[in-house]
Amino acid sequence: MSSPLKFIRPRNLNESRILSWFSLKNAHYSIENARIPGLNVGFNSDENQDIILEQLHVLAKETDTSLKHIAIAQQIHSGNVKVVTKGGIYPDTDAFVSSTLGISLLIQVADCGAILLGDATNQVIGAAHAGWRGAHKGIVRKTIESMLTLGADVTTIEAYISPCISVDAFEVGQEVADLFPEQFVEKNQRTKPHVDLKGYIFDELVTTGILESHIVLDTGCTFNDDTDFYSFRREAEKAGRMAAVIKLNEIG
């Protein structure tokens, strides 16, 4: 590793009780025999699973967390949310919520949005994977509703929307465009419609009751920035996955 690994640290989800990270591609970093360069944590990427496990150990060290305390989703583009109390690999889910001190929640993305949610006052965290399928299935709203069942208050939840594919790059078929309200679909001067995934996710957060002042939306586009981000649309099977991690820190 020629230089330190780089992460985005969401400014509204990093204090004494709640910590968070979004890993950049880190193309300078590589593990021997890896097919995909960088810090790739994607179990569903075209990479040897032992190498992914090694990468996850590196990520755990960087986030000062034992891997056994990290909940990792085997994502399927669903609306499924799991309440978790311990680390491990959880199949068939695209979001987690927890109120267990010391736990970390991990979501993997290439072009989809990762949404990190934290209520430091009531000590509840959440993490969701939202591509167009999950977004359409209500994964954002369902994650917040699950946080509320654990004692979170919608007025004290802070939210972060990760870098994901931008509206300029997200060309879709009409059948996908029809799933979204017109204000999130651009058609003018384009051969095919484009969906504003970030805008839709932001609106879902606000509609669910999250205060706009509590939302940080990252402007990075995974498709257009091949230096910092993996992109499945750009790289197809050669794409790795970034990690969005949120931790309910055990202090005192």
Return the CATH number at 157. Answer: 3.60.140.10
**pLDDT of 252:** 58
Has residue 2 been placed in a domain? no
SS3 of 219, please? coil
Has residue 121 been placed in a domain? yes
**pLDDT of 1:** 45
Query: In terms of residue numbers, what domain contains 108?
Result: 7-248
**pLDDT of 191:** 87
**pLDDT of 187:** 87
pLDDT of residue 182 exceeding 80, the answer is yes
The arithmetic mean of pLDDT across residues 213-230, rounded, is 98
Has residue 188 been placed in a domain? yes
**pLDDT of 121:** 97
Has residue 34 been placed in a domain? yes
Question: Rounded CA gap, 103 and 111, in Å?
Answer: 26
**pLDDT of 111:** 98
**pLDDT of 189:** 72
Question: Rounded CA gap, 107 and 113, in Å?
Answer: 10
- What total number of domains does the chain contain? 1
Q: pLDDT band at 250, cuts 50/70/90? A: confident
Cα angle for residues 206, 107, 162 (degrees, 5° grid) = 45
Has residue 1 been placed in a domain? no
Has residue 76 been placed in a domain? yes
Has residue 23 been placed in a domain? yes
Has residue 151 been placed in a domain? yes
Q: What percent of the chain has pLDDT over 90?
A: 93
Q: What percent of the chain has pLDDT over 70?
A: 98
Question: Rounded CA gap, 88 and 96, in Å?
Answer: 12
Give the tens place of pLDDT for each residue, 156-174. 999 999 999 999 999 999 9
